[in-house]
Amino acid sequence: MHAPRVTSSRLRRLAPLWALTVLAGSIVGAAGTASTALATSSVDYLITPISLEFGDVPIDTVSAPQVTTVTNVSGGPITPVLTAGNMPVGVFAGTQNCTGNTLQAGQSCSISFVFRPNAVGAVLGGPHMTAAFNGQSFTIDFAGTGIKAFLINPTAIDFGNVPNLGHSSIQAVTVTNVSGVAQPISGFVTPAGMFGASSDCAGTLAAGTSCHMYFQFNPTALGTQNATATGTWLSQPFSVNLTGRSYKGAKPTTPYSITSTALDLGDVPLNNTSAPQSVTFTNITGTPVPTGIIGVVGSFTETNNCPSSLPAGASCTMNVQFHPAGLGVQNGSASATWDGQAFAINLTGNGIRQFLITPVSLYFGQVPEGTVSATQNVVMKNVGQAMTSPTLVWGGYPGAFPNSNDCNHIKLPSGGSCHMHFQFAPSGFPGDTLGTAFGSWNSQPFIVVVEGVGY
């Protein structure tokens, strides 16, 4: 599929050509105004890439830097002067080493950017850089997604039946650093009524390690008691729903204490499966009670070691895993009725991208008609937890931009990268040519905007 070829005076390249594009709830491509919207009659600089995708970054964590390169293509020495510009503000920030440094023909300087999200979710069309070097205008667009630094689980605890003025066993909520880097564990948890609260979370939490919040049911009134413990760890808010039943005299006939009644399986890349999380069933009666089949709804699976009859005082465990069916938050449940006690375990998980694809726009500058430019690459990184075999399904080819890749059907380990290769081969008549390459890798959509000027 060939994108329409556009020709006109270079003086017209001031309007945006492509807006941020969102497919299946994910950022898949972006390009703002043309990479070197020409305010002069010639191009002095090749500025690429002009769209930076930072991927998934834990909130209050600074991403790895990404760089836009400014190359002197004027044919002689030139001293860049950044004018009419705004360095990004808010969650994106940048520095540059171009202004005042003379570049010889073919030499480059750079603008470096980082992303520090302050909230969970995608940042679309937010702060961007619009500026000019020596009158040559350009715009750089940014995109990224803030994710949770901590997995907090469980988010609901049922303490079962406890004598009035008595004390339940202590139950723990685990806080795990899933960001991949050490995090300061600053924050608090607010005590929740008859359930109290304490924590061993302090200092710095290394990547992959955990700390805990502790709760105990200490009823001072009869009947069912509910409370919610809330707080924030490193700007990440949380809530834990707590419930218990207090009795005096004969113990209620509810046969099971269930811990917990809600599971958050966290952020899981497409085509991956989460680590298992467990729910414990305890027989709180004095006689054996029957169990049964558990029904699961949503992109979740369960296994359990519960016998058909659970002895008095004994416990069994159900393990739940999440296999995202798509991008974004997905909810489900595991439910059953055992010995007359109905229960439903609320399940949630967040499907995130398996691959980080960057940059999502390429600018080839001026290329003589009938020749082929140097190759530029788009890097695809496996940000999933396991080795995967990428499979490409094309949706559209980018016209005058021949392409290939070294990704299709290889074994790509976690953290490993491969590439899509693009060139510009202008033919027919001179002018600005714009194309798009789009499709999906393992059901994850992408768009790469490619542009060059034939002469």
Tokens standing for residue 337: 């009725």
% pLDDT > 70, the chain: 88
Which residue is associated with the tokens 């302050």?
Answer: 118
pLDDT (average), residues 96-111:
93
Tokens standing for residue 369: 């008609």
Band of residue 118 on the pLDDT scale cut at 50, 70, 90: confident
Backbone φ and ψ of 25, nearest 5°: 75, 10
Query: DSSP class of residue 126?
Result: -
Which residue is associated with the tokens 């709760």?
Answer: 215
Band of residue 124 on the pLDDT scale cut at 50, 70, 90: low
* DSSP-assigned beta bridge partners for residue 441: 392, 444
pLDDT (average), residues 279-285:
91
Backbone φ and ψ of 12, nearest 5°: -85, -5
pLDDT digits (tens, 9 = 90+) for 157-202: 999 889 999 999 999 999 999 888 899 999 999 999 999 999 999 9
Burial of 313 (0-12, 13-18, 19+ CB in 10 A): exposed
| CATH level 3 topology of 10-147+353-454 | Immunoglobulin-like (2.60.40)
Element (H, E) at 433: strand 431-441
Higher pLDDT, 385 or 376: 376
Q: What's at 142, amino acid-wise?
A: F
Closest CA to 373 of 69, 75, 137, 46: 46
Cis peptide upstream of residue 324 (ω within 30 degrees of 0): no
| 24, 354 Cβ separation under 8 angstroms | no
Question: Hey, CA dihedral for 177, 179, 182, 188, is it positive or negative?
Answer: negative
Taking residue 307's Cβ as centre, other Cβ atoms within 10 Å add up to 12
Band of residue 218 on the pLDDT scale cut at 50, 70, 90: very high
pLDDT, the chain, mean = 85
Band of residue 282 on the pLDDT scale cut at 50, 70, 90: very high
Backbone φ and ψ of 316, nearest 5°: -140, 170
Distance of CA 136 to the CA centre of its chain: 35
| 52, 69 Cβ separation under 8 angstroms | no
pLDDT of residue 333: 96
Contacts of 154 (CB under 8 A, 6+ apart): 173, 240, 259, 260, 261, 262, 263, 264, 277
pLDDT (average), residues 307-317:
95
Model confidence, pTM: 0.71
Q: Are strands 295-297 and 256-269 parallel, antiparallel or unpaired?
A: unpaired
CA angle 65, 67, 69 (to 5 degrees): 165
Band of residue 415 on the pLDDT scale cut at 50, 70, 90: confident
pLDDT of residue 65: 92
| 130, 16 Cβ separation under 8 angstroms | no
Q: Is the pLDDT of residue 3 over 50?
A: no
pLDDT digits (tens, 9 = 90+) for 249-276: 776 778 998 988 899 999 898 888 998 9
Which residue is associated with the tokens 């509810």?
Answer: 254
Query: DSSP class of residue 5?
Result: B
pLDDT digits (tens, 9 = 90+) for 125-165: 566 788 899 989 998 989 888 888 999 999 999 998 899 99
Distance CA 362, CA 358 (A): 10
pLDDT of residue 326: 86
| 27, 124 Cβ separation under 8 angstroms | yes
pLDDT of residue 125: 56
Closest CA to 114 of 131, 127, 101: 127
Q: Which of 113-127, 296-310, 337-351 has the lowest mean pLDDT?
A: 113-127
Contacts of 255 (CB under 8 A, 6+ apart): 283, 284, 285, 289, 338, 339, 340, 341
Q: Is the pLDDT of residue 373 over 70?
A: yes
Tokens standing for residue 126: 């937010």
> Domains of the chain: which residue ranges?
10-147+353-454
| 86, 140 Cβ separation under 8 angstroms | no
pLDDT of residue 126: 60
pLDDT (average), residues 427-444:
87
Distance CA 335, CA 322 (A): 16
